[in-house]
Amino acid sequence: MDLFDEEAPKKRSSHEIGCDLSSLSVEELQQRILLLQGEIARLEAEKERKAAGRKAAGSLFK
Protein backbone atom coordinates (compact mmCIF):
# COMPACT_ATOMS: atom_id res chain seq x y z
CA MET A 1 0.00 0.00 0.00
CA ASP A 2 1.37 3.38 -1.01
CA LEU A 3 1.54 6.20 1.51
CA PHE A 4 -0.11 8.54 -0.98
CA ASP A 5 -3.14 6.32 -1.68
CA GLU A 6 -5.12 7.95 1.09
CA GLU A 7 -8.06 10.06 0.07
CA ALA A 8 -7.84 13.78 0.62
CA PRO A 9 -9.52 14.85 3.85
CA LYS A 10 -13.15 15.78 3.38
CA LYS A 11 -13.79 19.50 3.26
CA ARG A 12 -15.73 20.54 6.30
CA SER A 13 -18.71 22.72 5.54
CA SER A 14 -18.92 26.23 6.93
CA HIS A 15 -22.21 25.40 8.56
CA GLU A 16 -23.70 22.25 9.95
CA ILE A 17 -27.46 22.08 10.37
CA GLY A 18 -28.39 22.01 14.05
CA CYS A 19 -24.98 23.13 15.34
CA ASP A 20 -24.61 25.35 18.41
CA LEU A 21 -24.84 28.99 17.36
CA SER A 22 -24.33 30.61 20.77
CA SER A 23 -20.60 31.25 20.29
CA LEU A 24 -20.94 32.97 16.90
CA SER A 25 -20.77 36.72 16.42
CA VAL A 26 -23.41 38.71 14.57
CA GLU A 27 -21.05 38.90 11.57
CA GLU A 28 -20.49 35.14 11.60
CA LEU A 29 -24.23 34.56 11.78
CA GLN A 30 -24.75 36.89 8.82
CA GLN A 31 -22.10 35.01 6.83
CA ARG A 32 -23.87 31.73 7.51
CA ILE A 33 -27.23 33.23 6.55
CA LEU A 34 -25.75 34.34 3.22
CA LEU A 35 -24.18 30.92 2.71
CA LEU A 36 -27.49 29.17 3.36
CA GLN A 37 -29.47 31.62 1.19
CA GLY A 38 -27.07 30.84 -1.66
CA GLU A 39 -27.58 27.12 -1.10
CA ILE A 40 -31.36 27.56 -1.05
CA ALA A 41 -31.17 29.41 -4.38
CA ARG A 42 -29.06 26.60 -5.82
CA LEU A 43 -31.55 23.98 -4.60
CA GLU A 44 -34.52 25.94 -6.00
CA ALA A 45 -32.81 26.24 -9.39
CA GLU A 46 -32.14 22.49 -9.49
CA LYS A 47 -35.73 21.76 -8.45
CA GLU A 48 -37.02 23.96 -11.28
CA ARG A 49 -34.68 22.28 -13.77
CA LYS A 50 -35.91 18.85 -12.76
CA ALA A 51 -39.55 19.94 -12.79
CA ALA A 52 -39.12 21.26 -16.33
CA GLY A 53 -37.57 17.95 -17.39
CA ARG A 54 -40.40 16.01 -15.80
CA LYS A 55 -42.99 18.21 -17.51
CA ALA A 56 -41.29 17.76 -20.88
CA ALA A 57 -41.13 13.99 -20.42
CA GLY A 58 -44.77 13.91 -19.32
CA SER A 59 -45.93 15.75 -22.40
CA LEU A 60 -43.86 13.49 -24.62
CA PHE A 61 -45.46 10.31 -23.25
CA LYS A 62 -49.08 11.50 -23.21
CA distance from start to end of the chain: 55
Instruction: Answer whether residue 49 is part of any domain.
Output: yes
Instruction: Answer whether residue 18 is part of any domain.
Output: no
Instruction: Tally the domains of the chain.
Output: 1
The residue type of 3 is L
The confidence score (pLDDT) of residue 11 equals 58
Distance of CA 57 to the CA centre of its chain: 27
Instruction: Answer whether residue 45 is part of any domain.
Output: yes
Kindly report, residue by residue over 4-61, the tens digit of the pLDDT.
Answer: 666 766 655 678 999 999 999 999 999 999 999 999 999 999 999 999 988 888 887 7
Instruction: Answer whether residue 6 is part of any domain.
Output: no
By residue range, what is the domain housing residue 37?
25-62
pLDDT above 90 (res 62) = no
The confidence score (pLDDT) of residue 44 equals 98
The confidence score (pLDDT) of residue 54 equals 86
Instruction: Answer whether residue 52 is part of any domain.
Output: yes
Instruction: Answer whether residue 46 is part of any domain.
Output: yes
